[in-house]
Amino acid sequence: MIPELGHYALMLALGLALIQGIMPIVGTRTNDPVLMSMAAPSALAQFFFVAIAFTSLAICYVTSDFSVLNVFENSNSHMPFIYRLTSLWGNHEGSMLLWVSILAFFGALVAVFGTNLPVVLKANALAVQAWIAAAFHLFILTTSNPFVRIPQAPFEGRDLNPILQDPGLAFHPPMLYLGYVGFSIAFSFAIAALLEGRIDAAWARWVRPWVLGAWMCLTLGIAGGSYWAYYELGWGGFWFWDPVENASLMPWLAGTALLHSAVVMEKRGALKVWTILLAILTFSLSLIGTFLVRSGVLTSVHAFATDPTRGIFILAILVVFIGGALALFGWRAPLLKQGGLFAPISREGALVFNNLFLTTACATVFVGTLYPLALEALTGEKISVGAPFFNSTFGPLFIPLLLVMPFGPLMGWKRGDLLGAAQRLMAAALLGALATAAAFAIEQGGPVLAPFGAGIAVFVMAGAVTDIAERTLFMRVPFRASLQRAIGLPRSAWGTAFAHFGIGATLLGIVAVTAWGSERIAEVKIGDNLDIAHYRLTLDGLFNREGPNYRDMVGRFTVRRMNGEYIGVMEPSRRSFPNRNMTTTEAALMTRGVSQLYLSLGDPGPDERVAVRLYFKPHVLLIWLGAAIMFAGGALSLSDRRLRVGAPRPAKARAVLQPAE
């Protein structure tokens, strides 16, 4: 009964999406306020029914209703509650349902909180949102129905893929989707603006909070996925330049560019056309990411060709939405008037520089990810594009970006003072140089460029601090006055400083761990010692431990300092899942400050020996801590009063900002 209810609710949601997609547009064309006002309630109703569908499937999962094929294939009644729930989106059908649920959720948010939006813009934007929703509802209902029943229900389900039986699954996909799908709002508003043929600075003010929110979720989603891979895969890699990762990195890069160009548009009325294009591209990249991950095209071009229904369907969605949006852009964008003049050396100029490098970096990832697929499809030739390619192209593109980053916030709008900014960044640059020198002195080995990387990271962080110090006149006025100024600063200024500081922290972590991390691979027997950095590990014993649906072979290690001082115990294990006949490595991690000891177990060999991999990962936690700081920066910015209140009706300005028709 419950799955049928969910299935039916999803069909109703499709119907409502069609109404929401057609009526308001007709209304804006015929100037009918009644039709236009249908947008908001139908968005809410659509969300209501999608929520019913999602909840129905969730109930099936939690109650282990194995008469539903999707539940049978991906769940098992012995799993803990949290995994019974999260296995909902650990598979294709369920994750698509999560995708549309979040889409409908965002539509509902616009309907509820968009009370200060112009009626026409809101009607058009919600209609565009509904077209996307309708396409994906149709996709789910025709090719990926999660509510299909099995005639004779089995007693027990297969298991969830053991790698996915992890708290990471509860967090990573929803956050990622909140980011991906959140950018659909910017897309819908961009299309709405193009349909209407008018756009002004207020548009950026309405769209920016949505972009910011989506960017925050995506940042945390990517970082969460990276940390998950780090501890789960057993050798402590944090980024693999895997196509699936690239699929999430591309919208992040484009979204970051969008975030910055929207600031220029809001504050100075410039870069309007470019911002619209970026809004379209960012969500297009989210769609492409969904296609790459969901169509199976990545596994191999052949796998895609043998079962192409889903892939073709998503491909059609891509072509229609991206192609349609870009065509509309080509047709209508010339109508939008460019505004806002500025000198090359200015805050705007710095943000344009940021956009140039971010979009180029994004294009590099795009080409690198799709090139092997395209080449094989066209010529049949197989090549690989992996981490070494991305490291040698993406890295050089990011260095100028990072070097210029601290200058941006210190420049004035319209016309900046480069020399003045450079003078104010003296202290930061000095700190960076000092960090480079220190790295050279302390660390032996590692790439020659690594100390410079550390220097840049410190420069970026110190630059962010400089920005706040400058704004509060720190050391130039009494401390109390500085403090008062700090409290009075717009939160978005704090947000910028936090986000930039976070980037520096992440970079420092990446540089430190890749350049100066150490590794020991060895076979040990009970009583053996392993030395790494300034720690000594001793294998005390090997034993078995039973879990709810798995069995662990645990190695127990005591960690001591070199002088014998006891620190703690690490228990890495090899976890075997009888239901799937699979084994995973469960690494043991010990945090020391922001560094970590990382220990994973290999196969037990003959005569009580076991292979182990032991790593010392210096400053590794900074990578994800940096992302958390970026998230906090976004949250600070989002809480800025100026964004929350929304734009006051610019009655006078409107006449000026009217586009040329």
The least CB distance from residue 356 to another protein, in Å, is: 5
Q: Which is nearer to another protein, 356 or 628 (CB)?
A: 356
Structure tokens at 71: 């539940």
* Tokens representing residue 646 in the block: 């929304």
Nearer to another protein, 171 or 240 (CB): 240
Interacting residue ranges for another protein, rule: CB under 8 A? 234-235, 237, 240-243, 270, 298-299, 341-344, 349, 352-353, 356-357, 359-360, 363-364, 367-368, 371, 375, 379, 381-389, 392-393, 397, 414-415, 521-523, 581-585, 600, 602-603, 611, 613
Nearer residue to another protein within complex by CB, 126 or 570: 570
Residues 170 and 61: their CA atoms lie apart, in Å, by: 14
Residue 84 vs 268, nearer CB to another protein: 268
For the bound state, the minimum distance from the C-beta of residue 133 to another protein, rounded and expressed in Å, comes to: 32
Residue with smaller CB distance to another protein, 86 or 346: 346
Shortest gap between Cβ of 228 and another protein (angstroms)?
Answer: 16
Instruction: Provide the pairing of β-strand 588-592 with 582-586.
Output: unpaired
How far does the chain reach from its first CA to its final CA, in angstroms? 56
By beta-carbon proximity to another protein, the closer residue of 3 and 416 is 416
Residue 297: CB minimum distance to another protein, A: 12
For another protein, which is the closer residue by CB, 378 or 475?
378
Shortest CB 327 distance to another protein, Å: 21
Structure token digits, residue 401: 């970006």
The SS3 call for residue 307 is coil
Min CB(199)–another protein separation in Å: 18
Residue with the two structure tokens 């296995």? 87
Query: Checking phi first, is residue 414 left (phi over 0); if not, alpha (psi -120 to 50) or beta?
Result: left
> Shortest distance, CB of residue 389 to another protein, whole angstroms?
5
**Secondary structure in 3-state letters for 586-630:** ECEEEEECCEEEEEEEEEECCCCCEEEEEEEECCCHHHHHHHHHH
Q: Name the residue nearer to another protein (CB basis): 77 or 300.
A: 300
| Single-letter amino acid code for the residue at 130 | A
Chain center to CA of 502: 15
Output 376 or 470, the one with its CB closest to another protein.
Answer: 376
279: helix, strand or coil: helix
Query: Angle 33-657-417 (CA atoms, 0-180°, nearest 5)?
Result: 140
CB of 624 to another protein, least distance (A): 20
Helices 2-30 and 167-196 sit at what angle, rounded to 10 degrees?
A: 20
Secondary structure class of 518 (helix, strand, coil): strand
Residue number, 99 or 353, with CB nearest to another protein: 353
Judge whether 650 and 657 are in contact, CB under 8 Å.
Answer: yes
Residue 18 CB, nearest distance to another protein (Å)?
Answer: 38
Q: In the bound complex, what is the minimum distance in angstroms from residue 310's beta carbon to another protein?
A: 19
Residue 521, H or E segment: strand 518-524
Q: Where does residue 46 rank: exposed (0-12), middle (13-18), buried (19+ CB within 10 A)?
A: buried
b/e 267-300 (16+ beta carbons within 10 angstroms → b): bbbbbbbbbbbbbbbbbbbbbbbbbbbbbbbbee
